[in-house]
Amino acid sequence: MPIRIALYQPDIAGNAGTILRTAACLGFAVDIIGPAGFDISDRNLKRAGMDYLDMAALTRHDDWAAFDAWRRKEQRRLVLFTTMAAAGYREFAYQPEDILLFGRESAGVPQAVHDSADARVIIPMRPGARSLNLAVAVGMAAAMAMQKFG
């Protein structure tokens, strides 16, 4: 699947491991934009990813500048999942080469990253709810994008 998932400086190894396991099973690639809040050899990452980590297509980028330069060179549209968007993720017109970007569990993304996104979408939640678990949100987004492309 050409769509990619990008994680901006993820904080929680268990979430990243779960996302990598999902990616391995469903066939999409994951980009981790550093610095991450954990070592890539973290046992929680390995526990959550189980024996699927070797099957996962993972690319690590040292920082935002390196990732952004790479994605621009690849001419990929960046779709930011954020609570500060108006467009719903279900109605969004995904394209096959999109990169779906998710921010840090603790802080989202900084304004400069927000401003770099080509599109912003939201997963609607009930009033009063702050956020979904990162791995759950990624799973929902990946399923929606996969559904759009058959």
Alpha helical stretches, state H, the chain? 13-26, 43-49, 64-73, 111-116, 134-148
CA–CA separation, 123 vs 133, rounded Å? 12
Q: How many residues does the chain have?
A: 150
pLDDT string in tens for the chain (150-residue length) = 688 999 999 999 889 999 998 999 889 999 999 999 887 776 767 776 667 778 888 899 999 999 999 999 999 999 999 999 999 999 999 999 999 999 999 999 999 999 999 999 999 999 999 889 999 999 999 999 988 875
Task: Give the pairing type, strands 78-81 and 4-8.
Answer: unpaired
Predicted local confidence at residue 66, as pLDDT: 98
0.85 exceeded by pTM:
yes
Q: Give the fold, CATH level 3, of 4-148.
A: Alpha/beta knot (3.40.1280)
Predicted local confidence at residue 56, as pLDDT: 87
Instruction: Report the DSSP beta bridge partners of residue 81.
Output: 102, 121
